[in-house]
Structure 1
Amino acid sequence: MTRESSASPLIFGGDAQSPRAALPVLPPLALYIHIPWCVRKCPYCDFNSHTASPVLPEEEYVDALLADLDQDLHAVHGRELSSIFFGGGTPSLFSADSLGRLLKGVEQRIPFASDIEITLEANPGTFEQDKFVAYRKLGINRLSIGIQSFQQEKLQALGRIHNGDEAVRAAGMARQAGFDNFNLDLMHGLPNQSLDDALADLRTAIALKPTHLSWYQLTLEPNTVFWNQPPTLPEDDTLWDIQEAGQALLAEHGYVQYEVSAYALPGRPARHNLNYWSFGDFIGIGAGAHGKLSHPDGRIIRTWKTRLPKDYLNPAKSFRAGEKALGNDEMPFEFLMNALRLTEGVESRLYPERTGMTLESLAEGRREAEQSGLLQVEPSRLVATERGQLFLNDLLQKFLT
């Protein structure tokens, strides 16, 4: 397959072309691979996902992904991949043969770290154990299973295609296939959900002994069925009770909250996501995938790919839909909107290392945030207070210019 190298111009943001220090060392590099098809689109989902046809164009899509990756190789600068994440959509709709060919092609282009983390998103209704075993043999060593709830009424309200029993079996199937590291994705604040309902879901999940839990509140996003036809969601007081009681229950069972909605057993945080939150680099390939790529001269470029699968697979169209160089004025917000989601924040030195800018460029916003009780007074770290975590948008506003 042949493509234009880029059909879209570079968009400069703010004072992007003003001088910025060369980066002393490039950040870790990850790879995000987007597979956009699902069995059925959920009414709350605002991700780039599309209902699958009976036969998926697996071979053509893998060819396109590798050709897409070829066009981003100039930004690797000798680094190896620290993590790979297959997201979607539902990547587990693809066969092990297709994913194996893709992983082999990726490794031929970029070396893998010896301890690389490779995560695959999967749903309980779309796989069987033979497929899990095959995935594990490919070197995929972490699963993220989209449970959302174990209660049939809630699953139906969310438009999920699996039932509670399948959700429970999924974790056992994963472990049996050799996955000793897996995440369960669980929502709270569901339509007509009570505190008892939410805690029952959480207890069921904990009993399955995942190494990681993504536990987050359902939100109504634009361009979704729920946005246009809103369900009845719990009152704010109930949502607060669920959050407090759920966090206490997770802590009681050894799950450490390390990000706003991420909880892990000791030593088991998601390395791929930690890379995002600490302003690491990632190549994004696939329909609608986003990337962030740093260059030794200090340029930091955000990229995004063609969104519709039919356009992504069209040889006459470019993979890359656009790119933007981050300006100096954008850098504080860009860095902190992720770093401050981490409960322990990041070391202050990471800001100049990853942005090429001085800590002094944060001074005014930092002072205001500390005085407002949103940022801890901690010179060696950039970390939100408990109040700052609750009012993260207010905290980030301090760093907008």
Structure 2
Amino acid sequence: MTTGLNDSALRLPPLSLYVHIPWCVRKCPYCDFNSHAVATGVGGREADGGRSAYGLPEAAYVEQLRRDLQSQLPWVQGRRLCSIFFGGGTPSLFSPASIGEILETAEKMVGFAQDIEITLEANPGTFEQEKFSGYRAVGVNRLSIGVQSFDQRQLKNLGRIHSGEEAEAALGMARRAGFDNINLDLMHALPGQTEAQALADLERAVSLGPEHISWYQLTIEPNTAFYSAPPTVPGSGLVAAMQASGREYLAAQGYARYEVSAYSRAGMASRHNLNYWSFGDYLGIGAGAHGKVTLPDQGRILRSRRTRAPHHYLTAASPDLIATGLAPPQSDPVAPEDLPLEFLMNALRLVGGVPSDSFSRYTGLPLTALKRQWPLLQAMDLVQPLEGHIAATPFGFDYLDEILQRFLEQC
């Protein structure tokens, strides 16, 4: 049984904001995110009457995001935002003006840290030079470009709407627009992919000079087209080989691995990701958005969520909240006995782990709550001593599921 939560030990962590824009041009067969394809035949026209060039209810959605954020202001508790992340879907379907309006609202309602990181996800097939310049002008200072592969055959397998050449062109456009902090998303273990082909994708990505590369394995998730009709993917031995060679190559090129699937140049790790994996707080606004907030005065940590369907989100209103027009998100407290697992599911994904004292500060539990399982895991060379940092060993980093299973059984 986990030791009870100590209200006096619980401290406020940094605060981020996640903004979910749920629409995309086409739903990819591997995607299990809350994303919805736009209606066919609606693209190619200018924004008109509050609707985007893809026929989306852009103005109405931005207004609902404003109400959503306003309803969560009691959870801010005097903090400023250290990062903002626009995810999706494809946020770059929205105009720079709408992204700017969201940022202006967030700054007025909550406030920004002086060095705030503001990331926008974009796909190579959904933008042009003028749009990139517009995003930069309204305050976006980091782009995350969903390349996934440069191999045209793999792009077709993955249902992508861009070519490898368009991906390269997108990064060039971003540079000309003034972006000096760019992430490229790449996948490996793709259908029929060889080790050489996986490395070729990495080499092409590195040749473009991004500051950050997210390189993650294709997994077949429930409720996706790939789950209904699974493609033939590389076996575990081949996947392990391509991962080992890929990590070695990225390290040699100056990209340090700081999280399971994240590699960056020195000083360019994503602040938003670091706050998330360090068990920081984040407000989530938008259809299907999730959040996590700490309430020290109540001795509670809450997980929040919004309705997933865009139509339901747009029409959600509470008659007893006339001022905001939107009720606070549905939220549930995290039980004290679940907190060790919740914390470790995040912190152990970081190569360097987190300071040991952050466990008590951000969970309200004493460090002894981890010590039931820790000595055995340490004896198996899976985790490092608790003095200083909570972290897996280099060997244990490849067996995170096994480490977490020990704590799951403890709950």
Same fold? TM cut 0.5 = yes
Q: Does 1:342 align with 2:347?
A: no
| Post-superposition CA distance 1:166-218 (Å, at most 9, x none) | 01111111111100001000000001001111111000000000000000110
Match of residue 46 from structure 2: none
The code of the aligned residue for 1:22 comes to S
| Contact 1:368 1:398 (C-alpha < 8 Å) held by counterparts | no
DSSP-derived class of the 2:8 partner: coil
Match of residue 8 from structure 1: none
Q: Give me the whole-angstrom Cα distance separating, in 2, the residues matched to 1:333 and 1:19.
A: 14
Match of residue 49 from structure 2: none
The code of the aligned residue for 1:93 comes to L
The code of the aligned residue for 1:313 comes to L
Match of residue 80 from structure 1: 80
Structure 2 counterpart of 1:27, from 13, 18, 23: 13
Q: Give me the whole-angstrom Cα distance separating, in 1, the residues matched to 2:64 and 2:94.
A: 15
Match of residue 231 from structure 1: 231
Match of residue 299 from structure 1: 300
RMSD: 1.5
Match of residue 321 from structure 2: none
Q: Give me the whole-angstrom Cα distance separating, in 1, the residues matched to 2:293 and 2:393.
A: 30
**Structure 1 vs Structure 2: percent identity of aligned residues?**
54
Residue 378 of structure 1 deviates from its aligned partner by 4.5
Question: Counterparts in 2 of 1:25-174, with a 5 A limit?
Answer: 25-53=11-39, 54=42, 55-174=55-174
Q: Give me the whole-angstrom Cα distance separating, in 2, the residues matched to 1:22 and 1:180.
A: 42
The code of the aligned residue for 1:305 comes to R
| Contact 2:72 2:328 (C-alpha < 8 Å) held by counterparts | no
Match of residue 400 from structure 2: 392
Q: Give me the whole-angstrom Cα distance separating, in 2, the residues matched to 1:360 and 1:377.
A: 13
Structure 1 counterpart of 2:379, from 371, 379, 384: 371
DSSP-derived class of the 2:7 partner: coil
| Post-superposition CA distance 1:122-176 (Å, at most 9, x none) | 0000000100001001110000000000010000000000011001111111111
Structure 2 counterpart of 1:383, from 377, 391, 401: 391
The code of the aligned residue for 1:30 comes to S
TM-score by length of 2: 0.92
The 1:204/1:319 distance shift into structure 2, 3 A limit, reads: farther
Structure 1 counterpart of 2:337, from 316, 329, 348: 329
Residue 319 of structure 1 deviates from its aligned partner by 5.8
Question: Which has the higher mean CA deviation after the structures are superposed, 356-365 or 129-138?
Answer: 356-365
Q: Give me the whole-angstrom Cα distance separating, in 2, the residues matched to 1:378 and 1:324.
A: 30
Q: Give me the whole-angstrom Cα distance separating, in 1, the residues matched to 2:384 and 2:107.
A: 42
DSSP-derived class of the 2:210 partner: coil
The code of the aligned residue for 1:122 comes to A
Question: Counterparts in 2 of 1:264-279, with a 5 A limit?
Answer: 264-279=264-279
Q: Give me the whole-angstrom Cα distance separating, in 2, the residues matched to 1:249 and 1:304.
A: 39
Residue 315 of structure 1 deviates from its aligned partner by 3.8
Q: Give me the whole-angstrom Cα distance separating, in 2, the residues matched to 1:306 and 1:119.
A: 23
The code of the aligned residue for 1:303 comes to S
The code of the aligned residue for 1:166 comes to E
Q: Give me the whole-angstrom Cα distance separating, in 2, the residues matched to 1:224 and 1:359.
A: 40
Residue 19 of structure 1 deviates from its aligned partner by 4.9
| Contact 1:185 1:214 (C-alpha < 8 Å) held by counterparts | yes
| Contact 1:312 1:319 (C-alpha < 8 Å) held by counterparts | no
| Post-superposition CA distance 1:6-57 (Å, at most 9, x none) | xxxxxxxx999x6532345310000000000000000000000001133110
Q: Give me the whole-angstrom Cα distance separating, in 2, the residues matched to 1:19 and 1:234.
A: 45
| Post-superposition CA distance 1:233-256 (Å, at most 9, x none) | 112221111001100100010000
Structure 1: state its 5+ residue gaps.
1-13
DSSP-derived class of the 2:384 partner: coil
| Contact 1:38 1:90 (C-alpha < 8 Å) held by counterparts | yes
Question: Which has the higher mean CA deviation after the structures are superposed, 39-48 or 367-376?
Answer: 367-376
Match of residue 311 from structure 1: 312
Q: Give me the whole-angstrom Cα distance separating, in 2, the residues matched to 1:191 and 1:120.
A: 28
| Contact 2:275 2:281 (C-alpha < 8 Å) held by counterparts | yes
Q: Give me the whole-angstrom Cα distance separating, in 1, the residues matched to 2:119 and 2:396.
A: 30
Q: Give me the whole-angstrom Cα distance separating, in 1, the residues matched to 2:82 and 2:300.
A: 21
Residue 394 of structure 1 deviates from its aligned partner by 0.7
Question: Counterparts in 2 of 1:8-23, with a 5 A limit?
Answer: 19-23=5-9
DSSP-derived class of the 1:282 partner: strand
Residue 103 of structure 1 deviates from its aligned partner by 1.0
How many residues matched?
387
Q: Give me the whole-angstrom Cα distance separating, in 2, the residues matched to 1:66 and 1:368.
A: 49
TM-score by length of 1: 0.94
Match of residue 48 from structure 2: none
Q: Give me the whole-angstrom Cα distance separating, in 2, the residues matched to 1:207 and 1:15.
A: 49
Q: Give me the whole-angstrom Cα distance separating, in 2, the residues matched to 1:80 and 1:47.
A: 28
Match of residue 221 from structure 1: 221
Q: Give me the whole-angstrom Cα distance separating, in 2, the residues matched to 1:363 and 1:378.
A: 9
